[in-house]
């Protein structure tokens, strides 16, 4: 039996359970946007999907929400993904790497600078 997201978040301690739920939801969101049959979602594609979903949900507050949950950069998305892989909530291809999540975009640029007052 796999562990609950609450248990995983509590044991890991770096990210809130909401962050894990968001990344898991973001996988489905991103996969549904991919039109190929295999529907494999790369780290870069997932980061882009998470960005779109965050802006859709919270607009200019997206960075504040993510930071409150312990997510400060795209590598943090990767840390969550690989934690979920470890606990059988997600899977990876042999060619996937946590490094695929390194510096995909700058949080300040995509979540703050795009909104003009």
User: Considering just the CA atoms, what is the radius of gyration of the chain in Å?
Assistant: 14
- Rounded distance between C-alpha atoms, residue 16 and residue 22, angstroms: 10
Phi and psi torsions of 38, nearest 5°: -70, -35
Helix (H) or strand (E) holding 16: none
pLDDT tens, residue by residue, 40-52: 899 999 999 999 9
Chain centroid to CA 45: 10
pLDDT lower than 70: segments of the chain: 35-38, 115-117
The model's pTM: 0.91
């Amino acid at each position: 039996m796999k562990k609950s997201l609450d248990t995983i978040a509590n044991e890991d301690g770096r990210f809130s359970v909401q962050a894990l739920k968001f990344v898991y939801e973001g996988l489905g969101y991103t996969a549904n946007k991919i039109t190929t049959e295999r529907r494999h979602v790369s780290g870069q594609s997932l980061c882009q999907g998470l960005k779109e979903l965050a802006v859709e949900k919270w607009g200019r507050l997206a960075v504040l929400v993510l930071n409150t949950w312990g997510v400060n950069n795209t590598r943090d998305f990767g840390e969550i993904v690989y934690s979920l892989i470890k606990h059988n909530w997600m899977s990876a291809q042999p060619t996937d790497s946590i490094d695929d999540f390194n510096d995909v975009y700058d949080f300040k640029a995509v979540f703050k600078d795009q909104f003009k007052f």
